[in-house]
Structure 1
Amino acid sequence: MLMCSLRRLSVAGSLLRRGWSGRVLLCHRAGMAVSVQVHPSPECLFDEPVQVRVGGLSPLQQVTMKASLSDEKGQAFHSLAFYRADEQGELDLSQCPSLGGHYTGTEPMGLFWSLTPATPFTRLVKRDVATSPLCVHIEVFDGHGTLERLPEQPLAACINERWFMKEGVRRIPVREGRVRGVLFVPPGDGPFPGIIDLYGSVGGVVEHRASLLANHGFLTLTLGYFGYNDLPKDFTNLDLEYFEEAVNLLRQHPKVIGPGVGAIGISKGADLVLSMITFLPHVIAAVSIGGCNANTLGNLHYKNITLPGLGFSIDKVKILESKLIDISEVTGNPMDEANKDCIIPIEKAEGHFLFVVGEDDKNWNTPLYARQAVQQLKENGKENYELIVYPEAGHLLEPSYFPFCYASFHRLVGHPVVWGGKMKPHSLAQLDLWPKIQTFLQKHLAKQSKL
C-alpha cells in the first residue's frame, strides 16, 4: 500500500500533541487498556470494508463511537453512533447494533457512510487520488452524547487511511489531440477492459471513481469535456466527435481489450454515454446513473445530426423551507411533442445498457426517463438492457462508502440544490450498486478478442 509520506508525518505530530501514541490511543482504567482497532489493517482502499473493534471496556458499558475526516479544502465531516459493550467489555461494530445517533442497527460501515458535513451543503470529493488518502479518525467516548457534549478526551482512538489507488496503478494525465483527462492503468500486463468515465455539471475532471475502477482491473479514462484546461467553459454546444476521439485513443492503448470499450456516466454524463453507445460503434457497454433518455442542457452535434437540449421551465423551481432549491420538475418530458427531437435514438445501439435509478432523485425525473428508455428499447424488439431501481435513493449514487450527500452547490444553478434520497437506503444502494457495475462491465467487455 502507498504511504502517506509528509501528510502522515503531519497527522502523527498532531496526534502526539493531543496525547495519542502511534496509531492507537490507549486509555488505562482500573488496570484495563481501552483500545479501538481497524481490521484487517489500518490502511485500505476507499471502497473496501473494514471491521472496527473496541476492547478493554467495562461489561455492558455505554459508549459513543465518533468518526471524522477533513477533506483537502479543510472541510470537516463527522458521524457518531451509540453502542453498548458486551458482557466481556468488547464491542464489534460488525456484530453489535447502533442504538442511536446518525444511524441505527447493525451496520459495520455505518460510521463511514454516515459522515456528515460540518458545513451544510458540502459534498465530499477526493481530488488528489494518487499521493494521499482520506484519513478517518475513529474515537470512542464514555457514555452516550451528542457532538457538542462529548467528553474532552476519548477513551481510545485510531486512524483508518482510505486510499484511492492500490500499489502499481498508474495515473497518467492525458493531453493528446483535443482529448483532456486522466488515465488510470491497472498493474500488470493486461489486457484490461477500457472505460470512459464522465461526470456531470460539476465540470473539470473527477478522478475518484476512475481510480477505484482501475483498482478492480479496468483501464479507465476520466474525461473532461468542459471547464478544464483549454476545453470549453460550458457545454451549451458539444460535438460527439470529441468523445469519439477519446474512445479511439483508449482503444489504441496496448493494454486495452478490444475492439469495444465501455462508458459510465452520472447526471449529464449519463445522457452523454447514451449518445456515445448510440452513435459510436466501438462503445458497446454503457452505465447510465441518474440520467435522461434525451440530450440535456445544450446542443449535441455529430456529423450532420444535432440533438437539441431538452427544454426546461425555470418557473417550476421550488424554494424549500431550508432555502434549498428543488429542480426536480424543471426539466421537461422528452415525450412531449416539443421535446421529441431531443430524444436519443438508443434503439439503434448494438451494445448493452445498464440504467441506474434513485427513485427519490430530486435533480430530475430519473424514474420517468428510465421507464421511457426501457419502453423505447422494448418497442424496437431490444432486450439489451438492465434496469436497477433503488427506493429512497437520490441522484448522487457514488462508489461504496462515499458519504451520503443530500444537497450541495450546483454549478449551473449557482445555489445549493437538493439531490434527494435518505441517508441509510441511499448508502446501502451504493454498496449494492458498485459491484453490480463492475460485473456488468466485465460481462460485456472482458470476453472480447483484441483486433
Structure 2
Amino acid sequence: MAKITVSHPSALVDQKVSIKVCGLDRNQPITLKASLSEGKLRFASFGWFKADHDGNVDVSKSESLNGTYQDVDAMGLFWSMKPEPDIPSSSRLFKRDVTTPIDIHLSVFNGHLQWENLFDQSCSPLAETDIQRWYKAPNVRREIVKVGKTRGALYTPPGPGPFPAVIDVFGSGGGLIEHRAALLASHGFLTLALAFFAYDDLPVNMGEISLDYMIESTEWFASLPSVRDGKIAYVGVSKGAELAMLTALYCPKVMSIVSINGPPFVTGLSLPGRFAKHSHVEVDFDHVEMLDEGIVFSDSYFPKDDDFTKVWESDVKMLTILAGDDKCFNAKYSHRQHELIPEDKKKNFDMITYEGAGHLIEPPYAPFARASYHKLLQMNMMWGGSAKEHSYAQEDAWKRTLDFLKTNLGDPVPAVHDKHLTSNL
C-alpha cells in the first residue's frame, strides 16, 4: 500500500523538507500533487515521477519528469504552486493571518495525470497526508502597536532579551503586512512590521506618506529596552526600502538596511517641508508599457545623478538585493547609485543581482507570481522573472539577509523550541 512521509510535517516556511512515497510497484509512474487553500484562493502544483526498483520515490533525489516544475528539486512542489483552474491566474498567495499555518495537502495518484485531471473528484489518490508551514513560531509573541502615530505589529521572540531588532516594511500596496516580520522573529529578531499608509488611521494615499512618521516610529522602536544596544536594522522591499534609505539619513540608530528592489531615489511626489531638499523622480508615462499580463514601469524613470539618495552620508551598512528581470523597477538604477558611492564608503555597501528573478523576492519557497493585482493601481502589475530562477533567488537572498543581520546586529537566539515545529537553524 502506498504511503507518503514528510521529514518535517510542521515547520517554518523556510525549512526544507523531504517528501517520500513508498509502497509502490517497481518503476510505477505516479503523479504527486500539492494543494492549499488560503481565504478564497486555491493553489496547487504537481510532478510526474517514476518509482525506483524498490517501489520508492524520494522527491529530493527523484526527477520530476513533467508538471509545474521539472528536474530534481526537494522544494519544487512548493515554489511551483499556481492558482487552480477556476482561480484567476493573476492571483498571488498572500498569508494575512500568520497566527495560523499554511495547510498543504499532499496526494499521490497512479499514472501520469494532466493538470486539468488533478481536480476531477472521481480521481482517487493512492495515498494522502497533510503538512503545516508556519511563518510564526508558536512561542513568538504578537502585539498590535498603536503608540503615538506609529502603527504596526511587534513580534517578540521568547526569552528575556534584549534582542537584535529589525523594522520590516513593504511597498506601494500599503496596509500592514506581517509574514516576513513573523519569520524574522522566529529566527530570533525582535521585529516591528511597520505600516506607513492605507492602514488604521494612517493616510489613505501613498502621496501623503510622511518621512517624519518613519523617523518618529524608528526612534520609538529603538528606544525600547528590549532592543539590543538601541540599534536597529531595516528590511524593506520596493517603496519600503526607499523610505528606509531616507530614514537612515536622519536616524543614527539605523545601523543597517536590506534593500530588496528598492528605488534609490524619491519616487512619485516630492517630500514636504524640511525633506524637500531630496529631489524626486516622477514616472514618465510615455515609457510605461501596458501588456496583457499587466503594467510595466521598469524603464519609466530618468533620474539624474543628483537625484540619488546619498545613503552613504550616514554610517549605515547596506545589502542591496536586486532582480535582473524586475518589470517594476530596473536594477540599473541601483547599480548607478552604487557607482556614485565614494570609494572610502564602498566597503559598507554590498550588492547582488539575480538574473531571471522578478520584483517580489519573498522568503524561500513562496509560490512565484510573475504578475498580480495591485490594489492601489486597481490593475495587474507585472513583476517579472521566471519561476525556477526566482525561486533560487528567494532561497539565496533569504540566507544572505539573515547572515547580514546577524553580522551587523549580533547573533539572535532562535525562537523555535516546540518539538512539533522545526527550523533550519
TM-score over 0.5 (shorter chain): yes
Q: Who is 2:296 aligned against?
A: 326
1:242 corresponds, among 196, 213, 226, to 213
| 1:193 CA drift (Å) | 1.0
Q: Deviations over 1:247-277 (max 9, x none)?
A: 1221122221123210011011111111122
Instruction: Tell me the secondary structure at the aligned position of residue 335 of structure 2.
Output: helix
What residue number does 1:98 align with? 64
**Once structures 1 and 2 are overlaid, which stretch shifts more, 392-401 or 271-280?**
271-280
Equivalent in 43, 46, 50 of residue 80 of structure 1 = 46
TM-score, normalization by structure 2: 0.92
Secondary structure of residue in 2 paired with 1:65: strand
Q: 1:304 to 1:203 in 2, by over 3 A?
A: closer
Q: How does 1:115-264 map to 2 (within 5 A)?
A: 115-118=81-84, 119-130=88-99, 132-150=100-118, 152-264=123-235
Partner of 2:326: 361
Could you say what the CA RMSD is over the residues aligned between the two structures, in angstroms? 1.7
Q: Is the contact made by 2:61 and 2:74 (CA closer than 8 Å) also made in structure 1?
A: yes
Q: Which has the higher contact order (CA 8 A, sep 6+)?
A: 2
Q: 243-252 or 95-104, which moves further after superposition?
A: 243-252
Instruction: Provide the secondary structure at the position in 1 that maps to 2:398.
Output: helix
Kept in 1: contact 2:35–2:106 (CA 8 A): yes
Are 1:89 and 2:55 counterparts? yes
Query: Any stretches of 5+ residues in structure 1 without a counterpart?
Result: 1-32
Query: Aligned pair 1:63/2:30, yes or no?
Result: yes
2:78 is the counterpart of 1:112: yes
Which digits, 9 at most, give the CA deviation of each residue in 1:135-193, with x for residues without a partner? 01111111111121246111111111111211210000000000000000011112211
1:24 equivalent in structure 2:
none
Contact 1:93 1:108 in 2 (8 A): yes
Is the contact made by 1:347 and 1:376 (CA closer than 8 Å) also made in structure 2? no
2:308 touches 2:337 (CA, 8 Å); kept in 1?
A: no
Deviation per residue, 1:66-96 (Å, 9 max, x gap): 1111112x21111111111110001111111
Secondary structure of residue in 1 paired with 2:346: coil
Alignment of 1:430-449 (within 5 A): 430-446=394-410
Give 3-state SS (helix, strand or coil) of 1:393's partner: coil
Provide the secondary structure at the position in 1 that maps to 2:249: helix
Select the residue among 335, 354, 357 that pairs with 1:371: 335
User: How many corresponding residue pairs?
Assistant: 406
Answer yes or no: is the 8 Å Cα contact 1:347–1:380 preserved in 2. Answer: no
Q: Please give the secondary structure, in 1, of the residue aligned with 2:309.
A: coil
Find the residue that maps to 2:2 and give its secondary structure.
strand
The residue that corresponds to 1:408 in the other structure is 372
TM-score normalized by the length of structure 1:
0.87
Work out whether residues 328 and 383 of structure 2, in 8 Å CA contact, stay in contact via their aligned partners in 1: yes
Which range moved further: 305-314 or 176-185?
305-314
Checking the alignment, whether the CA contact within 8 Å between 2:34 and 2:104 is kept in structure 1 is yes
Q: Any idea what SS the aligned residue of 1:435 has?
A: helix
The residue identity in structure 2 corresponding to 1:387 is: M
SS in structure 2 of the partner of residue 80 of structure 1: strand
Amino acid at match of 1:76: R
> In 2, distance between residues paired with 1:380 and 1:408?
41
- Secondary structure (helix, strand or coil) at the match of 1:300 reads coil
- In the TM superposition, what are the counterparts of 1:337-348 in structure 2 within 5 Å? 340=306, 342-348=307-313
Q: Are the equivalent residues in 2 in contact too, given 1:184–1:211 (CA < 8 A)?
A: yes
Contact 1:129 1:207 in 2 (8 A): yes
Deviant stretches of 4+, over 4 Å: none
Shift in alpha-carbon separation, 1:38–1:283, aligned structure 2, 3 A: same
Provide the residue aligned with 2:317 in structure 1.
352
AA in 2 matched with 1:69: L
* CA contact 1:241–1:302 (8 Å) conserved in 2: no
Task: Report the residue type matching 1:291 in the other structure.
Answer: G
